[in-house]
Structure 1
Amino acid sequence: MGRNKLIFLGFVLVVMLSGCWGQNEPERMLYTHGLGIDYEDDKFKVYVQIIDFNKVAKSEQPNPSPVQSEVGYASGRTLDEAVFKLYNSSDQKIYWGHQTFIVFSEEALKNEGMNDIIDTLIRYRETRYQIWLFATDDSVKEVLLTTPVIDTAITLSKLGDPMNSFHQSSLIEPVDIRRMIIGLNEPGHEVVIPYVKITENWETVEGKDKMARSAGVGLVTTKGFKGFINREKMFGLMWMNDKTEREEVTFSLNSDEEDVMSVVIHKIKVKVKPVVEGDALKFDIDVTMQGDVGTIPTKTTKDEIRKKAEQEIKQQIEETYKEALKKDFDIYRLSEYLYRKDVQAWKRLQQNGKVELAEDSIRTLNVKITELRPGRNLFKKTID
């Protein structure tokens, strides 16, 4: 081989190898899975959940140590200052590329606002837009210390993988950073995010386990935080969402609250029509869906079940709307419907991206169960 060829080969090898010089060895890094942000005494409190992939990965042998994660803490006047203080106590470099969720405290949302916090986070090159967002009024640290049922991989927890349980029970649709940014930029400039609390309704022979449960929704705007709507008052939100895959409605077949039954609802379709007459704005809403009947407590007919279920769902939609109005929040994003259908009317009627809403702004609300299936051929009890 000639001298020139040897020089060229050596040059190529040097260039190829130099690409690895700045890389970090995987075993010499710590990997974030969750982030908690609190705000107290004019300082940010940052909680970082680090996971051990060796314990998360499947194995044929039982794991002698069930601990899959550890939570670190630091505070600072800014998010960056708090994070760098955390770096000072870390044994290894912390990698943020695997971060899956963020939990915000109520105080963090009130004092700093979602908009400013998200703006800070997405400026970092390792942060992704597919990070799930949650709010809580419990201890942020305690939420990050919750563990999945029967030592399931922590990456499959309700916080780490919310879409898994959403397919079975679509009470609250998960929200990630991408959807948050889009929602706050669109007319209305308001978004709901899942509100979680700690529960202890699961237990083993060793005692009760702390779990994160869906407790309602948090009301987030570009101007600040407008509070929470608890689970019991936010059921209407899932009936006004085409993405709801599967959820149940429970009601009584008679006025004395006896013969209670449930219907599983799916295939929801929502149509909202803005009606503009001068400066008056109303909305006509049509919601269609299908249902599956489980237990039938007494002899009844399909039409009776359908009628009662439709009445209950309509009542829940109205109740959630009124509850949100108390907090000056357009929970069904009616302002955006007007923007999409009649932008000229929206420009004339809007104030800061929103149109003024009142309890009677919904002119008509029609709820229709187009198909009701009993699972069997007859709408009667299996055993009389």
Structure 2
Amino acid sequence: MAARDVVILGSTGSIGTQALEVISSRRDEFRVVGLAAGGSDVAQFAAQILDFQPQVAALARATAGQDLQLALYAEAKKRGWNQGEVQLPKILLGPDAATQLAKHPCDVVLNGITGSAGLLPTLAALEAGSTLALANKESLVIGGRLVTEAAAPGQMVAVDSEHSAFAQCLQAGRADEVRRLILTCSGGPFRGRSREELVDVTPKQAMAHPSWDMGRVITINSSTLVNKGLELLEAGLLYGVDLDDITVVIHPGSVVHSMVEFHDGATIAQLSPPDMKLPIALGLDWPRRIEGASRPNDWSQPTSLHFEPLDSEAFPAVELARRCGKAGGSAPAVFNAANEVCVDAFCEGGIGFLSIVETITAVVDEHLATGEGEGAHLSDDQMSVEGVLAVDAWARRRAAEICAG
């Protein structure tokens, strides 16, 4: 079997680094032909380039080109390589570098970029005809029908552990036999706390996720349950399920990654330890399973599975996301954009923990009440890339204004 050519967007982030770990011991199965990163860790990016020798490397920070070249030579020298042994890839620089790279000929593009910056690369990969292994849920959430209509059947493969679980469970029956999707949630570091007990939460406490080791934005999102709201919207779009037929349940053990309930009363669940390498490996070559991608559960030890209902009063982000999804059009983009601004403001000490979702709610309410002009809600039929990006920019400005007081 020929090796699959892979482009990895967001290679120095959590998803990207784990994908490269999966690939590193399977060079006969996968060949990295492109790497993209933001540019915050040029030394790590240089090491990845020398390790995997892609044809193209892309950096979002336009001024990082010289830094990358110096880092490449420094890394090569550290490895004892002579100058002639360093094969430099074609280097793309600037905000659209990842989008350009997403069009590069390959079998699969893994989009591990964080946030709305992943939208244009997602659309570019789909347009190019590559399989899109989607870890950047935000691009699907904010793009909505722009993304789903651009994708051919089977072209998008979910990399989020919950959505990978849905894909695996859905193989147990036909689409018309599905009663509902059950989206599991660890509950984050503040599970069981009342709203009043969340008032004085600090960024350090919010970053202490009990199950997963992730980047800053997704970790804070997991503490507010905004991430679960985004995942609810993603599930509806990926699998064509009505949002009212998706139930969020708390499962602190993070062993059951999600479940599908069928109309005959059967519930099919996917279980594995909390390790992103399993869904990443499936995303790289779906539906083929890669041997040894992650460790299995140890069923020789006493095991219990605990579930509890979501406390929507303490954590209202999921129901807010559901409301945005039902409103459709640009509302989910506003939800996501306002959140990204609020996460930064919270981490910088500008707002309190509860103010994150309160601010998102205020921006969403204003957006849905605006009939025309700047910040007006776009229906599904009015959606365009330019329109979504304009609404995204408006939502960020409004959120920043509210955060600034």
| Greater fraction of residues in helix | 2
| Greater RCO (Cα-Cα under 8 Å, separation 6 or more) | 2
Give the TM-score, by structure 2 length. Answer: 0.28
Rg larger in 1 or in 2? 1
